[in-house]
Structure 1
Amino acid sequence: MALPDPRLDSLLSGKGPKLEPLLRWLLEASPVASVDGEARRTSRLRRLQGALDERELAAVLAEEWNHASAIRLLAETGLPDRTSLLGEGFLRLVDRIIPRLDAEGDLYALLDRLDLDDADAVWIEGLPEDLRTAWASLVRPPTDIWVHAARLLAHRAAAVGLSRDLLSLDPAGSDADSPFFNLTRAVRERGERPQDPEARLAWEHCRAECARALDQAHDRIEEKGVSTDLVFRLELLQAQLERIAQLLAFVSGDGDGPAFTVELVRGSASQHGFMALLRTTVKRLARKVVEHTGETGEHYIARDRREWRLMGWSAAGGGVLTAGTALFKYGLSALPLAPLLLGLSLSFNYAASFCLMQLLGFSLASKQPAMTAAALARALEADEDQTREIDLVAAITRTQVIATLGNVFAAIPAALGISALWIWLSGHGPLNLDTALHSLHGNHPFHGWTLVFAAATGVLLWLSSLASGWAANWSAYRRLPEALAQSHRIRALLGADRATALGRFVHRHISGFVGYAVLGGLLVFVPMAFAFAGIHLEVRHVTLQSAALALASASLWAQGALPWADVLWGLLGVALIGAMNFAVSFALALWTALRARGLSGRASRHLWWNILRAFNRQPGRFLLPPATGATLESPHPGDPHA
């Protein structure tokens, strides 16, 4: 007898029902839009169930379902195919561009071809109980399929768990003590004897030991640096152990069919998403990067009046050094060099100057905000009461104010002194007329894109702070200082004491050196890259611009062509450039730190609102030196910079 639905009648006629066409017919109906209070897709599923019963085709459809391979569906859906982040990411990118030809009888491939999404999972969750019961008996795989899937996953998990870098996370333990040695046997015995209490206890003990090993591994990578590939495999292992437990629960008759079906659908929907993979894996790495950045940034916060004065003197030294850096920049730019050689020369000029600044204990304005934001995020996570966090922001801001003033008030006199010496020796200024006028007008805050360029420079400062944190994380992960101190070649070349001193030196300076080297490259090559694309971009850093303003003004004065009004506008521009450098770099760094620590957007907005209110009530608290005797207390006893 023909069915009321011609399409369904056609699908059930002929050689019998075919699984994929029936599923596609079912999924064409909306899971949300309803008829008579029931979703259209649910109504279709009910009609399909009735038609199968009427034509006695339920057993035929169940046989086709069971004939298809479900092992991969149960063992791989929602889990990565590769054991490395790079390999899995590349595979997902390729799958999004080039379709993959899978076997027709593979249920994993079938689910993949259906292009399911989260709405399909929500629909399954809301199915009436009568339909759940009817279809559960129809599509439930045989017991041996569950066992095979669990054993397949156990072998894969054991291989990952016994990899060398995971075993090395427990240097005190023996490789043979790893619980992953026993995982495959425990899973096999549990699958073969699901009702045996000893097999159940052996599996539960092995699973608990594997979970404990993973927890210890997570704790150890929290103490040291993190590798994205290592984090990826730890997350993969945890997911594999959870899936094995689910599969063995079905073997013993304790599985939750509807919940597991929903999990498979959601896993199928998300398993080709590259950004989701990157987001979940990189989060822990980002946290360690900002933590290492914060450890450096703690030392850029003046907590009392003495530290505030020391920061001022440190910044003054940085300003004097930057005056020479600016002069060398103009000298290199005047040479007839190819663009690549010019870019490398300018980058080396910046990087060498900044690294020398670190070795001498000097400070560069606007570098600190990006470093100190991680310290603020750590304090915010530790304490819901934001009173101390506002005090910390006030300390960061007034430290930045004195750092900027120290840089500028030292860079300008130093640049003027260099110019005076140059004029005395040569009779003319260090810059020609065109270069001096361009530099002077480049500081005008409202002519051109000066403030936009300053904001872009703030982004570069933020990127350099991430590079600093990454370098510190990489050094900790590779145990670089210890490796250098114990290297036989270095000890033979330098001696044991000097090798140890080299390790301490690298530990103390690698973060700053990498950050400053990256900053030097960004300040030069980012504008060059934009120019290659036809976009004009210049960098505007407060200290470099103050030195450039002084050099340009002195050169124009020597030629009798100094426009004093432009000089005054340039001084205002320097102040606004400093404010823009600070605001952008600090805001981006704080945003990164908050996201890496999983703090909500609401907490971030609440913090910003409280900061603005506090600044409106007491602006001097954020701009002026701390009161005599006032100290910002550390939340960590014994740590003056926490």
Structure 2
Amino acid sequence: MSELKRILQQITALSDVPDPAVLKRLIEELRVSDKEPALANQNIQTLIDILHQHPEYGDGLSSFVLKLIIQYRQISLYTDTGIMSDQGFFNSLRRLVGHRFLPILPQDDSVVELVGYLFDKRTDERWLANIETQKWDELVQLLRVEEKHLDLVATAKNSILNAIIILSYRISGLGLHPDLMDSYPQMLNYSASFVAQNQEAVLFVNQYRQAHELDTLTDITPEQAVDPAPLLVMIEQCEDIVATIRKRIYKTGISIRLTNMMLRLDQSLQRMRILTELVTDDHQRRDRAVIELIQTLITTANRRYSIGHLIDNNTKLLSRKVTENASRVGEHYISTDKAGYQKMLKKASIGGFVIAFMATIKILAYQLALAPMGRAFINSMIYGLGFVFIHVIRGTVATKQPAMTAAAIASTISEGSGKKSHQLNKLSELVVDILRTQFIAIMGNVMLAIPVALIISFAWLQYTGAPMIGTEKAGHLLHDLDPFHSLALPHAAIAGVYLFLAGLIAGYYDNLAVYNKVGARIQRHKLLQYILPVSWLKRLGGFIEANLGAIMGNFLFGVFLGSTATIGYIFGLPIDIRHIAFASANLAHGLFNISADDISWSLILISILGVALIGMVNLIVSFSLALFVALRSKEVRFFEWSRLTKLVFGHIISHPSDFFWPRDKPMKYARIDSQGHMIFDDTSAQKNGKAIPSNYVVRRLSDVRILPESKQAVAQNAEASTDIYYDSQPQGDHTQPHNSPKKVVNLDDGLADEELNSTPYTDDIQYDKVTKTLNTIDNDDTVGHESNHADDKSTGDAKTPLPKPKKPPKLPD
């Protein structure tokens, strides 16, 4: 404790001339390994005890930190840190790879560089995450600023208010972006929300500056606090609109660019809410906002030059795109009741019947003398066209994990589906349903593929008088199934990856068909209009738009399977594929055509075991990848994976039959029906579940217009200065609050229109050269010093450059 106290004494003594090295010593004294959470909490508790005993240390530490950070650029901290960049992946990757060879020059005036100097260990992020929230709250409450240092608070608050304005304009730009409006044309009816939030932000910032007298670099406590409720209401309305657009993605499709845009819009709205809470009088919410910003800043500082983090962020973006748009029509691998279970068995049986013939054709094709690429082409066509044919006749191939599966998993852990423990319980039950559905799909494939393959071999022998394949080829087929003496299981894992990729491809093409309106465009094709009748053309367009994803996913899955062995042969790699359905058909052909001298019970049992293990590996790999993508899109942390695994294994022990046979009482999920189809709706996130009404926005736009330039000169001589003119305002007097129009729009946000519109925009935000912040023109100062403003350039204008801020202290290398 003595060392901590000595450092705090030094910090208090140096609060007027802060040195980052002293603060770094305090952090090093508190730092522990990320694997020692108890010690981390003990050190923070020690710091809290010292601050309780010596309140002057709390003021010294807070003023030290404030004086240090105000020497750096803060606005980018609030507006950019922790918010996804719109820079492309390859540009960012090129910049970071270049940093490895020729380091990027640090931005010495950035707070992020300061934090990167203070928290320079990779484990700092995890170390700080181990500290209990209660201790963070208690520590922040002890860091109070005395009245003599309120100028520091005022400077910090000015930066926060500036950031609110900047974020507000960015939100307006993103919310009114053409790509967003194209994806949801009805949004034009609600676009005023993004404009109105900007007006509320400007009004809130102006009122807050004036009430707290921040322009005089102090921070008084006003008699009546500035109410942030109207601004928070508009932020909530913008969030509801984004949620509504997300729910319509299955109709409109989505692109990576639009996914990025909506994610940035979500993050910007959330950051704007945090910044608003940061300057309010609610101490608890303000302290939580401080903690969240600190954690975000430390995380960003640790990862700003990390290539792994860049890849991590972009794969999360891809995961979000995959899970936000699921197939409407096509393959589904979730059933919750007996009817869905039986339906999957029938579809899998159809698939198994066709696969027996596909496996036979593939075996016979090996007798053709073909070059490697020719063999790859033939095999790819056998697989690809066969899988497409299975889909067209409404069959299915086991162990595939379509994008819909990932979307269904993600829907159980969505923001509105309850607490995390409840979400994980639901997810574990969904995992059970998926695995049971996959089990019956495998059984359906195998139970038809084996007997049909045996019948084909028997019929071939009867009609030709010779076996379909020789004993050497039969032995080779059985050897490929041996899990101990061949690479059957690694090859099954490769097939599992392909099964998962086929699902992603299906989701991509489903999205592509919807996003580009392929069905409607086919119907407008001039050549097709000339060839086909209107009814046929309409059916063709509808069929392609509904099934393009499943067709392309199945076909390309077949290409992957058919070409892998050839690619391995060309490059000298021991790679191939093993799929449960084809392995079962090969088992039947091999056992029927092998010589009687070579057959034995051990060979039969090992081959059957190999088929079973191939199916397990196929399923585990494909399902694990689908689960990983879904949970990654929702940013589920690693320790939650372990909780999920325990829940699933607990279910295996308590109710093993649920993995093989439907439950008596099927589980119900919010967005999945008993047949495994996603349930889509267009309702917003409101409590009553109704769609966004047309009067949802606080309609201040109807009675507001920008003051024309011809009237701006007149307004300069008035008692108040304003940049907005109200149509309903009395003539000749611009200082009185405007009267609300007689026709009041009914609001469904619970706020009265008179309260929202009680104060007009009487302040004009502009840059002031003296304070170097976004400040408002004081009404009294405008009247009393009007002549001085004409000659004095200290207020700044468009032609006068802003003065450069004081350079922060140089950080040690």
Distance in 2 between the 1:345 and 1:385 partners? Answer: 41
Q: Equivalent residue of 1:406, what SS?
A: helix
Aligned twin of 2:162: 148
1:481 is matched with which residue: 519, 527, 537? 519
Q: Deviations over 1:429-486 (max 9, x none)?
A: 7667765543343334543343454454344334433433443344344443344334
8 Å contact kept, 2:580–2:614: yes
1:263 to 292, 304, 317: 292
Partner of 1:324: 361
Q: Deviations over 1:573-594 (max 9, x none)?
A: 5533442343234344554565
The 3 A distance-change label for structure 1 pair 246 and 472 is same
Q: Distance in 2 between matches of 1:541 and 1:474?
A: 29
Paired residue for 1:410, among 441, 452, 463? 452
Is 1:352–2:393 an aligned residue pair? no
The C-alpha deviation readout for 1:7-32, integer Å capped at 9, x for no partner, is 99999999983543333333222246
2:313 is the alignment partner of 1:277: yes
> Paired residue for 1:336, among 371, 385, 390?
371
Q: What is the DSSP-based 3-state SS (H/G/I as helix, E as strand, rest coil) of the residue aligned with 1:193?
A: helix
Deviation of 1:347 after TM superposition, in Å, equals 2.3
Q: Name the SS for the 1:539 alignment partner.
A: coil
Q: After TM superposition, list the pairs within 5 Å mapping 1:86-235 onto structure 2.
A: 99-115=103-119, 117=125, 119-120=127-128, 122=131, 125-127=137-139, 129-133=141-145, 137=150, 140=153, 141-174=155-188, 177-194=191-208, 203-204=231-232, 206-221=234-249, 225-235=253-263
Mapped pair 1:81 → 2:109? no
Which residue in 1 is equivalent to 2:486? Answer: 448
Q: Which has the higher helix share?
A: 1
1:39-94, CA deviations, whole angstroms, 9 ceiling, x for partnerless residues? Answer: 6777999999979999xx99898656434322112222222232667767777787
The number of aligned residues is: 617
Q: Deviations over 1:91-127 (max 9, x none)?
A: 7787788754243223243224434635457475452
Match of 2:272 in 1: 244
Tell me the SS of whatever aligns to 1:565. Answer: coil
Q: Which moved more, 1:346-355 or 1:395-404?
A: 395-404
> Aligned with 2:443: secondary structure?
helix
Whole-angstrom distance in 2 between the partners of 1:637 and 1:204: 33
Q: Which amino acid aligns with 1:353?
A: G
1:319 Cα deviation (Å)?
1.6
Equivalent-residue separation in structure 2 for 1:188 and 1:585 (angstroms): 57
Residue aligning to 1:538:
576
* Alignment partners' CA distance in 2, 1:250 and 1:35: 25
Partner Cα distance (2:405, 2:619) in 1: 6
Indicate the SS of the match to 1:77. Answer: coil
TM-score of the pair, normalised by structure 1: 0.75
Choose the corresponding residue for 2:503, options 423, 443, 465.
465
Query: How far apart, CA to CA, are the structure 2 residues paired with 1:228 and 1:87?
Result: 16
- Residues 446 and 160 (structure 1), Cα distance of their counterparts in 2 relative to 1, 3 Å cut: same
Indicate if the aligned counterparts of 1:190 and 1:203 stay in contact, CA closer than 8 A.
yes
CA distance in 1: counterparts of 2:265 and 2:53, whole angstroms: 42
Listed one character per residue, the Cα deviations across residues 539-598 of structure 1 (whole Å, up to 9, x for unaligned) are 223443455456667877xxxxx3543476665455334423432343445545656277
Aligned CA RMSD, in angstroms, stands at 5.4
Deviation by residue 1:145-194 (Cα, 9 ceiling, x = unmatched): 22322222222222222222211233234379343234444323322232
Aligned residue for 1:297? 333
Shift of 1:409: 1.4
TM-score, with structure 2 as normaliser = 0.61
- 8 Å contact 2:331–2:550 — kept in the other structure? no
CA distance in 2, matches of 1:86, 1:175: 37
Mapped to 2, the partners of 1:611 and 1:5 lie a distance apart of 54
Contact 2:165 2:202 in 1 (8 A): yes
In 1, Cα distance between the equivalents of 2:41 and 2:584?
Answer: 72
Q: Secondary structure at 1:296's aligned position in 2?
A: coil
Match of 2:76 in 1: 72
Which residue pairs with 1:559 in the alignment? none
Pairing partner for 1:503 from 528, 538, 541: 541
Would the alpha carbon gap of residues 570 and 371 (structure 1) be closer, same or farther in structure 2, given more than 3 Å must change? farther
Q: How does 1:362-373 map to 2 (within 5 A)?
A: 362-364=395-397, 366-367=398-399
**Residue identity in the other structure for 2:139:** L
Q: Identify the range of structure 1 (251-260 vs 367-376) with the bigger mean alpha-carbon deviation.
A: 367-376
Deviation per CA, 1:387-442, whole angstroms, max 9, x where unpaired? Answer: 99978865653453232121121123324545776x66xxx776677655433433
Cα 1:150–1:443 shift into 2, 3 Å: closer
Query: Is the partner of 2:576 in helix, strand or coil?
Result: coil
CA distance in 1, matches of 2:665, 2:25: 71
Shift of 1:236: 1.8
Q: What SS does the aligned partner of 2:70 have?
A: helix
Aligned mates of 2:28, 2:72 — CA distance in 1: 23
Q: Which amino acid letter does the alignment assign opposite residue 541 of structure 1?
A: H
Q: Which amino acid aligns with 1:267?
A: T
| Letter of the structure 2 residue corresponding to residue 27 of structure 1 | I
Separation in structure 1 between the aligned mates of residue 97 and residue 19 of structure 2, nearest angstrom: 29
Retained in 1: the 8 A contact 2:528–2:537?
yes
CA 1:73–1:118 in structure 2 vs 1: closer, same or farther (change >3 Å)?
A: farther
Give the distance between the partners of 2:194 and 2:613, measured in 1 at CA: 54
Letter in 1 for 2:263: E
Deviates more, 1:296-305 or 1:71-80: 296-305
Could you tell me which runs of 5 or more consecutive residues in structure 2 were left unpaired when the two chains were aligned.
33-38, 212-224, 304-308, 418-424, 678-813
How much has 1:371 moved relative to structure 2?
8.9
The answer to whether the 8 Å contact 1:322/1:544 transfers is: yes
Give how far 1:234 is off: 1.9
Tell me how far apart the structure 2 counterparts of residues 394 and 144 of structure 1 sit (CA, whole Å). Answer: 59
1:26 aligns with 2:61: no
Q: Secondary structure at the match of 1:79?
A: coil
Amino acid at match of 2:107: A
Deviations 1:218-250 (A, max 9, x none): 222266644444333223212212322343455
Q: CA deviation at 1:503?
A: 1.9
Is 1:580–2:578 an aligned residue pair? no
In 1: Cα distance, 2:247 partner to 2:80 partner: 28
Checking the alignment, whether the CA contact within 8 Å between 2:500 and 2:625 is kept in structure 1 is no
The answer as to whether partners of 1:471 and 1:511 remain within 8 angstroms in 2 is yes
Q: Which moved more, 1:581-590 or 1:127-136?
A: 127-136
Partners of 2:84 and 2:20 lie apart in 1 by 24
